[in-house]
Amino acid sequence: MQGLREFELSSDELADFKRMARVMIPADETFGVPSADDPLIFADISSSLGMDLKDVRVALSGLRALAGCPLSDLEDARAAEVIFQLLAQEGRPVQALGRVVLAAYYRDDRVMRSIGREPRAPYPTGHTLPDGDWSLLEVVKARAPIWRDDRQV
């Protein structure tokens, strides 16, 4: 099992991470979005740790140290307190953990639709960019050159 541990989180780590994800990004009925521990989203998070696995593990270990026990032993209020305490820390492990949660969350179909985006890759459809108001440039066109001509110095 030691070999496996190098490449994926343990079930204890996953349980802590999942509870943490729910506190980080809770569901919101107003916007019609799930929480980050939603089965589809959390499956995406946990399968896309890649090169961040080590940092995420360090962050989760820090969480366990702050809690003094598995998060599952804590009531919601205390668990949230500990999680926010960890998230307030600076440093690469916590940043990495936040990044993997956000990267998976904001590519979920339901979340993308809720922010007005089609759930698709940019290619091959791309986007439409309005031309904008080019009349604004007229006043700039009327200016004299402001670059220094070294031939005239």
Per-residue binding letters, 110-139, with other proteins (x by CB under 8 A): --x--x-x-xxxxxxxxxxxxxxxx-xx-x
- From 84, 85, 91, 113, residue interacting with other proteins (rule: CB under 8 A): 84
- From 53, 66, 98, 110, residue interacting with other proteins (rule: CB under 8 A): 98
Whether cis (ω within 30° of 0) applies to the bond prior to 93 is: no
The residue type at 84: F
9 binds other proteins (CB under 8 A): no
Tell how far CA 120 is from the center of its chain. Answer: 18
For residues 143 and 120, give the distance between their C-alpha atoms in angstroms, rounded to a whole number.
44
Burial of 64: CB neighbours in 10 Å, binned 0-12, 13-18, 19+: middle
Asked if residue 86 lies in contact with residue 21, where contact means CB atoms within 8 angstroms, the answer is no
3 binds other proteins (CB under 8 A): no
Q: Where does this chain bind other proteins (CB under 8 A)?
A: 23-26, 28, 30-31, 33, 48, 50-52, 80, 84, 87, 95, 98-100, 102-107, 112, 115, 117, 119-134, 136-137, 139-141, 143-151, 153
